[in-house]
Amino acid sequence: MYRNHYNGTLRKADVGTKVTLVGWVAQRRNLGSLLFLDLRDTTGIVQCVSANPDDLPDVRNEYVVQVEGAVQAKDVPNPNLPTGEVEVNIEKLTVINKAQTTPFIIADKTDALEETRLQYRYLDLRRPILQRNLRIRNKICHAAREYFEENNFLEVETPMLNLSSPEGAKEYLVPSRLHHGSFYALPQSPQVWKQMLMIAGVDRYYQIARCFRDEDLRADRQPEFTQIDLETSFLSQDEILTIMEGFLKKAFKEAADVDIQTPLRRIPYWTAMDTYGSDKPDTRFGLELHDVSVILKKGTFEGFGEKDYVKGIVVPGVAATTSRKNLDELNLEARKFSLKGVIALKYLNGALEGSFTKFLNEDILKELVAELGLKEGDLFLFASSASRRQIDNGLGALRTLYARKLGLIKPGTYDLLWVVDFPMFTPVEGEEGKYVAEHHPFTRPRDEDLDKLDTKPEDVLAYAYDIVINGYEAGGGTLRIYDHDTQWKIFKLLGLSDEDVSNKFGWFINAFNYGAPPHGGIAFGLDRLTMIMAGTENIRDVIAFPKNLQAVDPTSKAPREVSPDQLEILGLDLKEE
């Protein structure tokens, strides 16, 4: 028997118990007359001590060892360690396996570069904080399976090798050995398959599904990711959201020991954009957007177009400390978010200051102060654009930038809400009459907006909803189109030809001719849920073996070239650049 106890489970109640432990030597301290070993396993660390170090085999950090001895109370407890009140008196120490010196220290706090940690991910994962993250992820999965089973959902696996279809992101293609020149596509989501399951009468489906998108990467995105994927029949949007709130309540309690109050707030898309400058707003702080178009266009400034939106944010208490250099840096940031620049007005000594005040008379200035509710020391930053989305997105990004800079976000808090009533389409900038789907082409338009599909598609709202947590989109879903004619019309509005529709989706929408029920669903991003509950902003911290920002696995070095023989079998010829 290797062990009879796990290291991190030992407590004061175990004093006097004979234990056999195994694990990795996290730290070794030889004081001559005393030897201390911190022994780590998946549950945590416990201190082991020997008064006869010369009688024990030599060990180093990360050696795999077995310790036999009795649990005893510590003379000086360590309050920072769950096992800090006890230690194990080493009666026997056995070296199971030796270890070379590791390329970085295996501890929660490390100065190792992320690329090095990812290259030796199997060592990085020994760090207690990453073990904790994996346990949080596991608890979310357990909560999902338990909750949805209790609510009559059936777990069904869907295919990984699919037909290529346009769903917004680039796909990963898999060449067929048996059909040269033909390709499968890895799923961006199980979207069409879960809708087929509803047509098949499954009624309520769930799956913890692997998905793939060949996108540019960032801190909260990976090329392969995991969804808690769901679909239901014969439920309204309100009923679906209520069921999903029950899952979130259970998951947060079990995985993060946080009590979520339900029902959650629901904010319409355009309200979120106009107020917070984002369709995934973080409402743990203020700095809301203010539309001052009417007020500022009364002035003499000729740079505002007739259809321009003029909006801004009030940043409290920073006017006196905001220099010209600060504003220049802010303008550089604004341009990153597609704004031409921002204009600053300072409210100091009971009056607005700034070069722009020359375009505003005393009445306009008073009206602006009253509208914004300005207080001494406030800074008002504003910009203009003919694009409503552009100015909202740009100011929303600056809003978040200032919130972080000023420490307005309280750590350890959770802000959950639904964003609903999304636009059905996003117009393609610079291409009149062209649209892309805001969510995906299977989203159902609101009944009251169906007549606008033929006249003003850009005004059509959808039965669509995103769950937003702390400014992250943690999941999204829609009610689905369930009749053949409407689905065909949406494909045509998105610019797909009859041939495209037939080739890519004909098999799918043909199923609508055989009695499709009203249905809808959602997919939660398991990686993002875990990232939020674990309190990290890097999604790679909650995935066992992630890719880096170049979509490379630093451990295995995938992707790599393959042999000419493999290419020949697949009927592929590489083109030299």
- Name beta bridge partners: 310: 384
CB atoms near residue 274 (< 10 Å): 18
Beta-strand runs (E) in 242-370: 265-268, 289-291, 309-315, 343-348, 351-353
Write out the two tokens for 337: 């978010």
- Please report, for residues 276, 277, 466, 469, 496, the alpha-carbon distance to residue 414 in angstroms, rounded to integers and kept in the order given: 17, 20, 16, 7, 41
Helix (H) or strand (E) holding 402: helix 388-405
The pLDDT value given to residue 3: 97
The pLDDT value given to residue 340: 87
Which among 441, 514, 448 has a CA at the least distance from the CA of 481?
A: 441
Contact 35, 54 (CB under 8 A): no
Q: What does the pLDDT average to over 65-72? A: 98
- The one-letter amino acid at 425: F
Answer whether residue 168 shows pLDDT above 70: no
Band of pLDDT at residue 97, cut at 50, 70 and 90: very high
Helices 498-509 and 191-199 pack at an angle, to 10 degrees, of: 50
The pLDDT value given to residue 166: 60
Answer whether residue 165 shows pLDDT above 80: no
Q: How far is CA 261 from the centre of its chain?
A: 21
Helix (H) or strand (E) holding 251: helix 237-256
- The one-letter amino acid at 69: G
The pLDDT value given to residue 225: 96
Answer whether residue 49 shows pLDDT above 80: yes
The pLDDT value given to residue 244: 98
CB atoms near residue 423 (< 10 Å): 23
Which among 209, 158, 184, 166 has a CA at the least distance from the CA of 441?
A: 166
Write out the two tokens for 209: 């599904």
> Domain 285-405 falls in which CATH fold?
Gyrase A; domain 2 (3.30.1360)
- The one-letter amino acid at 367: E
- Name beta bridge partners: 531: none
For 509-567, the pLDDT digits (tens) are 889 889 999 999 999 999 999 999 999 999 999 999 999 999 999 999 999 999 999 99
Residues 256 and 234: their CA atoms lie apart, in Å, by 33
% the chain with pLDDT above 90: 82
Helix (H) or strand (E) holding 475: strand 472-479
Contact 237, 245 (CB under 8 A): no
- Name beta bridge partners: 231: 205, 521
**Mean pLDDT (the chain, rounded):** 94
- Out of 3.30.930.10, 3.40.120.10, 3.40.50.720, 3.20.20.450, which CATH number does the structure's domain 130-257+464-564 have? 3.30.930.10
For 379-433, the pLDDT digits (tens) are 999 999 999 999 999 999 999 999 999 999 988 899 999 999 999 998 887 777 7
Answer whether residue 333 shows pLDDT above 90: no
For the domain 7-97, what is the CATH superfamily, name and number?
Nucleic acid-binding proteins (2.40.50.140)
Q: What does the pLDDT average to over 22-32? A: 95
For 439-458, the pLDDT digits (tens) are 888 999 999 999 999 999 99
For 224-265, the pLDDT digits (tens) are 999 999 999 999 999 999 999 999 999 999 999 999 999 999
- Please report, for residues 8, 127, 222, 439, 536, the alpha-carbon distance to residue 219 in angstroms, rounded to integers and kept in the order given: 31, 20, 8, 22, 10
CB atoms near residue 22 (< 10 Å): 18
Q: What does the pLDDT average to over 27-44? A: 94
Q: For 162-176, 234-248, 307-321, 476-490, which range has the lowest pLDDT when averaged over its residues? A: 162-176
The pLDDT value given to residue 167: 57
Domains in the chain: boundaries? 7-97, 130-257+464-564, 285-405
Which among 542, 550, 552 has a CA at the least distance from the CA of 226?
A: 542
Band of pLDDT at residue 169, cut at 50, 70 and 90: confident
Specify the DSSP class assigned to residue 459: G
Rg (CA), the chain: 29
